Structure 1
């Protein structure tokens, strides 16, 4: 379902391992300041554009 709703049409992959690697195998850390949660990702992340595009699509879903 995530692949159908959140991934751009041209980036749909057929193997869930590829999705897991591209989105969740990213070095970074989560910090909390003044009641805000911040995600600090590596600046050398080659999947940076895909990550933010998918995150934006997930946030736009009406649940």
Structure 2
């Protein structure tokens, strides 16, 4: 479940990671979507937040 992320950093490519916890924390709509039972809206908002996120060189 997205509300119980096991790790913060997910590798994307060599030396590049995405911090999903920070991504969802800073995206108000995605964070709000995690608290609803509307699965399609939740999935779309979280996916959008991930697509808009800025990976970091790790």
TM-score by length of 2: 0.37
Higher share in helix: 2
